[in-house]
Structure 1
Amino acid sequence: MVLTLDDIDKNPELISTTDYFEGILINFRPLLLTDEKKLAQFLENLGSQTRKFSTRNGYDLNEARDLCFAINRYDKLRLVALINNETIIALFEFSLSIVDNEYKRFAEKYGIILNEVTDMRFGPCISDHYQNRHFGCWLFEKVKPMCKLMGKERLILWGGVFTHNKRAIRFYEKVGFRIFQDSYMNDGQYECLDGIYYLLQ
């Protein structure tokens, strides 16, 4: 049986985990409607450098409300990591849809035929305090079985990664993404690199 967004919405525990990172209890679970204020606080506390590498519409309560409102309404899945189920310190976002320019770019540049049934877009965001502490790598290990439960075989970087975001590139390569070196310009006219991760290898 392949998990759907509806399955996850009805039973978030299907892909929720509770574990210790550096002695701190971390709940890693789907975003809930009741997380508005917690998510707003997370977004508001992101530093200027972290925001510089993001393409969010905002970093406030309105943005948090939009993300919570979208739960099981569209093609998005968002997971949050919380300390003691109270303070959000990471947001992992997934999109189950592939856009036309991604189909075209992956086929023409890399000879890879994307498929919405088996492929999913991925974009992480971690609070400034938990960056450079291997926290993202630790969370990514928990993401992989969830993706497989949803029938996914590959992850591609959601919007790619900015070529000047060297820290993010190192993270993606460390967890096993293949980062392509043929750059492209995104809609905001930023130079980006694509990446792909093979879940079944």
Structure 2
Amino acid sequence: MEAFSPETIQLSPDESIIIRLLDSTDAPKLTTYFKGLSAETRSYFAPHSFVEETVRHICRTLNPAEIVRLIATSADNQTIIAYVLLLSGATPSDAVRYQALGIPINVETDFSIAPSIADAYQSRGLGNHLMKKALTIARAMHKERIVLWGGVQARNIRAHRYYQKYGFIEVGQFENDVLNFDMCLTLSEMNNG
């Protein structure tokens, strides 16, 4: 499927980035990526643990029909600088919250997204390229809606604005250790520009 093909982008005049699917040989690079994230960035991303054993298991059991795992790498040295998950449907806890909001999650038509970007690459435009790739994949897989995996923390103002820019709307809120907003994007209502 063409939507899954690697893409090379110019992040700046002197830096090329490759966006592609995670593959089974990427475990050491992904472990290094997680170890390099600041405590703050780690606190915003929690779909799974960061330990090496988890990363090895992920890379051994890749299944894009269930979870698409995108990475962005530096074209120069192939260092991972971003990691994005696209889960068909939603986690059980997210599904329960959305059901309570009157928004049932459908594994066939819904994706949950969980992006992370290395600290040194935040606010440099990489997130826009990753979102465009995620939207291309969502459409190719006939998804109709994207929800935020685990919501977005209210204190993560930059991420909240980023999602709003793409047309995600707040549909609810919940608290665990902090206040979070559930947000979703209906692809048919999105501006394709």
Task: Give the TM-score taking structure 2 as reference length.
Answer: 0.85
Change (3 A) 1:14 1:122: closer
Matched, 1:66 2:57: yes
Equivalent residues in 2 for 1:28-177, closer than 5 Å: 28-55=19-46, 57-72=48-63, 75-84=66-75, 86-109=78-101, 111-177=102-168
1:4-43 matches, within 5 Å, as 14-23=4-13, 24-43=15-34
Kindly indicate whether the alpha-carbon contact (under 8 Å) linking 1:163 and 1:183 is maintained by their aligned counterparts in 2: no
Partner of 1:178: 169
1:119-166 Cα deviation digits (max 9, x unpaired): 011000000001112220222112211111111111100111122221
Displacement of 1:72 after TM fit? Answer: 1.6
Distance 2:92 2:78 in 1: 38
Give aligned-pair identity as a percent. Answer: 30
Q: Is the 8 A contact 2:91 2:149 kept in 1?
A: no
**SS of equivalent to 1:80:** strand
Determine if contact 1:119/1:154 at 8 Å carries over to the other structure. yes
Per-residue deviation at 1:56?
5.5
| DSSP 3-state at the match of 2:188 | coil
Alpha-carbon distance in structure 1 between the residues aligned to 2:66 and 2:119: 28
Contact 2:88 2:110 in 1 (8 A): yes
8 Å contact kept, 2:3–2:137:
no
CA RMSD of aligned residues (A): 2.3
Unpaired stretches in structure 2, ≥5 consecutive residues: none
Change beyond 3 A, Cα 1:78–1:200 = same
- TM-score norm. by structure 1 comes to 0.82
Following superposition, which runs of at least 4 residues in structure 1 exceed 4 angstroms of deviation?
none
Residue 163 and residue 86 in structure 1: after superposition, are their counterparts in 2 closer, same or farther (change >3 A)? same
Q: Does residue 1:193 correspond to 2:181, yes or no? A: yes
SS at 1:194 equivalent: strand
Displacement of 1:113 in angstroms is 3.0
**Compared CA separation, residues 197 and 13, structure 1 to 2 (3 A):** closer
C-alpha displacement of 1:51:
1.3
